[in-house]
Structure 1
Amino acid sequence: MTTNPASSPSSPSSPSSSSADTTDASDAIDAIDLFALALTFHPDGDVRAGERRMDGSDSDAWQIATFHVETDADVHADHWEMHPSAEEGVCCLTGGARIHFRATGPGGAEDMVRLPAGTAVIVPRGRWHRLELDAPSDLMSITRRHGTRLEKRTDTP
């Protein structure tokens, strides 16, 4: 388990330090900074906090990642992204964003969904998408990262 460096022995999430406490250090329960670490949910029910990964090296695991973003560069607005192994939940916790979906056929138009604070969109499996911000935002994504692909936009202004 990865612990939050901001946790202190006096925090409510820290185990008691009484002499009667039989909890060993490996069983410690601490708060996790979701803006620094991702949560990975494994098929066997195991949940781990660790480094955010774009490559999905753990093919059957789901990742929840939260980001504070201020500019389009923070959300790689100049790239399309696609997850072939699962749908993705993209949640706007604060601020505002737009998610663009690449046209599915030649000559088609992009689709766009606005995400004001407190809303989410489900990105279909295998659908190319990208984000743009309306304001500095806190975003959360939930998906299986295995096989995730990024592709540079060729239609940038």
Structure 2
Amino acid sequence: MDLTPVDLFTAVLRLRPGRAVTVEERRMDADDEGWTVALTHAETDHDVHSDHWEVHPESDEAVCVLSGQVRLYLRQGEAEGAQVVVTLAAGTGFVVPRNRWHRFELDAPSDLMSIALRLGSRLEKRA
């Protein structure tokens, strides 16, 4: 067993079937099984790709704000239109339902944690 600490801002933890946890490269479209735990440090909206919508078809996504404050936008359907906005401050979290398009904007530099199955995840450029 490797006893080296992991920088979760550059790698992710993958919670695999069979109770194994692996350290892996960060990528949006994981092509295998297992929940991904990822941390993101965001200084600007660009760091949270606020110009794109994101969706995870295989699972809900838990989003936790460790520091800072963000606005989470949830799209009502497939096309851009009506949106719900949820403000998340440090120490709060939200569960984005499976197949729900969402995006973030920052109110302050923030550290975020997300937990989801990345299989089939997609990004869509905002109109």
Q: 1:152 to 1:49 in 2, by over 3 A?
A: same
Match of 1:90 among 48, 63, 84: 63
Kindly name which structure, 1 or 2, has the bigger radius of gyration based on alpha carbons.
1
One-letter identity of the residue aligned with 2:64: C
Aligned-residue CA RMSD (Å): 1.5
Q: Distance in 2 between matches of 1:36 and 1:45?
A: 23
Q: CA deviation at 1:28?
A: 3.1
Per-residue CA deviation, residues 7-34 of structure 1 (Å, 9 max, x unaligned), is: xxxxxxxxxxxxxxxxxxxx23222111
Q: Distance in 2 between matches of 1:102 and 1:125?
A: 12
Which residues of structure 1 form unaligned runs of 5+?
Answer: 1-26
Match of 1:110 among 83, 86, 93: 83
Q: Which residue of 1 aligns with 2:95?
A: 122
Relative to the length of structure 2, the TM-score reads: 0.94
Q: Distance in 1 between matches of 2:40 and 2:7?
A: 11
Q: 1:133 to 1:47 in 2, by over 3 A?
A: same
- Structure 2 counterparts to residues 7-86 of structure 1, below 5 A: 27-58=1-32, 60-86=33-59
Relative to the length of structure 1, the TM-score reads: 0.77
1:143 aligns with 2:125: no
Q: May I ask how many residue pairs the two structures share in their alignment? A: 127
Q: 1:45 to 1:77 in 2, by over 3 A?
A: same
One-letter identity of the residue aligned with 1:146: L
Report percent identity of matched pairs: 52
Answer 1 or 2: which has greater strand percent: 2
Q: CA deviation at 1:53?
A: 1.6
- With a CA cutoff of 8 Å and minimum separation of 6, indicate the structure with the bigger relative contact order: 2
Which residues of structure 2 form unaligned runs of 5+?
Answer: none
Runs of 4+ off more than 6 Å = none
